[in-house]
A = this chain, B = another copy of it.
Amino acid sequence: MKIYIHTKFQESIYQQFKNALEPAYEVIIGEGIINEELKAKFLTCDICYGNVPLDWLNASSQLKWLQLNSTGLDPYQNLKEYSYHLTNLKGFFGQSVAETTLAGILAIYRRIDELTRLQTKNEWIGTPIRETLYLLNKKKVLILGSGTIGMKIKQLLSGFECDTTVLNSKTIGQLAEFLPTTDILIATLPETKETIGLINKTYLEMLKPSALFVNVGRGSAVDENALIEILQNNKILGAVLDVTEIEPLPTESPLWNMPNVLLTQHSSGGWAEESADKVVFFINNLRLFEEGKELINNVDLVKGY
């Protein structure tokens, strides 16, 4: 059988794939390059790791399993009928995203961002900054999304004795009830018909002046213009944004220069061993595939995750 690796990795990661797969499988490394020659090679393959173009998929009659290199399904919602297995990396980034979430919240509350800016200027402020710090202890936290990320965030918060509520697609209707008393609103939502624009101006205006907004899901879940206006007018304490409507964030976005905003640049899903751990995940799934068992992270394109 032939396995096509479409994702761009470091050389050592391709070697890790080959060490695990050869000689049982023939491994073709595409490096994420898109051209007719590589498309032709892909069309001879049985298994693929990585997010190949839609037209490659629609042209394949050989493919038995596609393992995506992402949690997000865009643009594969537009797949024509397909008969192969389709799996994604759902849950793979949970711990990592949850840790950046905590890092971001604590950075705002304990003013790590401001202390870093002061350090850049060799400027000792000392005691006066203490009055501007907050405690996470016992805060009311509202998490939108009950997937791996949301549940991991809840777990990491446990030692802080927070009062944490998780809303999922069935309970999201209660959002307006919770917002006025929420200290920290954390969006971990996937992009679906229901989540696009969900966090609108009306909802954002229900938050307290001391509230913090965190988005580690998808930028499309928030009305970004409304959020910017609310932050500019200090109607909430601040925001930690791992995602924005457009990425990279355009240079002219006012979010760059807001002292109450921390931009984590879609880094939350990353860690030093991320790529190596993806190979391990794929190989584990391949063993299930070989045994004809159900694969981990089979995608439901109707639900959208």
Contact = CB atoms under 8 A, between A and B. Distances in A.
Interface of A: 95-96, 99-100, 102-104, 106-107, 109-113, 115-120, 122, 124-127, 129-137, 155-160, 247-249, 251, 256-257, 262-272, 274-275
A11 to B, nearest CB: 14
A134 B268 CA distance: 10
Nearest to A251: B122
Contacts of A270: 127, 129-131, 133
B265 A137 contact: no
B116 A109 contact: no
Question: Chain A interface secondary structure, helix, strand, loop or mixed?
Answer: helix
Contacts of A117: 116, 120
Give this chain's copy count. Answer: 2
Contact of A119 (B96, B130, B263): B263
Contact of A110 (B100, B124, B157, B274): B100
A130 B267 contact: yes
B115 A267 contact: yes
A133 B256 contact: no
A107 B111 contact: no
A5 to B, nearest CB: 18
Given A107-B112, A248-B126, A99 B135 contact: yes
A161 to B, nearest CB: 9
A118 B271 contact: no
B265 A133 contact: no
A103 B109 contact: yes
Nearest to A131: B272
15 contacts: A95-B137, A96-B133, A102-B102, A102-B106, A103-B103, A103-B106, A103-B110, A110-B268, A112-B113, A116-B117, A116-B262, A119-B256, A126-B265, A127-B267, A129-B265
